[in-house]
Amino acid sequence: MRIYLVAYDLANERSKARDEELKGAIKVLTGAWWKQHEGFWLIATPDLSEREVFERLSALLPLAEGEIREDTFFVAELAGTWTGWQTKAAWKWLTEARDQWKLPLELDEDEEPSG
């Protein structure tokens, strides 16, 4: 099982209109997911590479002929350690995903947001 960060910002009006479809596809595509905030997801999938995740999801946001890409879309595998400020629920999801799939990931679960 792999955990990916999927982040996007839909600037194009046609893309914005497909946002709900994109969210549904993220949920169906993955074994588990955590939506941190709008356009920022952590997903777990058993057999897809980051390229496959990107291709399947970005295919829902096609460009019209002559249209310039205004959206941003980013997929990265979380395969090491991480740190930061997160909600307790986010740390819980990451911990459970790591433990359930025996991932070699480490995080500081006691880290509390400041400010």
User: Residue 111: its pLDDT value, please?
Assistant: 41
Quick one: DSSP state of residue 46? S
Q: Quick check: 85 and 113 in contact, CB under 8 A?
A: yes
Q: In CATH, what number is assigned to the domain containing residue 32?
A: 3.30.70
Host H or E run for residue 44: strand 40-45
pLDDT digits 0-9 by tens, 8-58: 999 888 888 899 999 999 999 887 888 988 999 999 888 899 999 999 999
In a domain, 111, yes or no: no
Residue 53 lies in a domain: yes
For 77, the domain range is: 2-83
User: Is the pLDDT score of 113 beyond 60?
Assistant: no
58 part of a folded domain: yes
> Degrees (nearest 5) of the Cα angle 94, 9, 34?
20
Per-residue model confidence (pLDDT) at position 106: 40
Q: How many residues make up the chain in this entry?
A: 115
Res. 114: pLDDT tops 50: no
Please enumerate in sequence order all residues whose Cβ is within 8 A of that of 28, keeping only pairs 6 or more positions apart, or say none. none
Can you give the pLDDT at residue 107? 38
Query: What tokens does 51 get?
Result: 């390229």
Q: Is residue 60 part of a domain?
A: yes
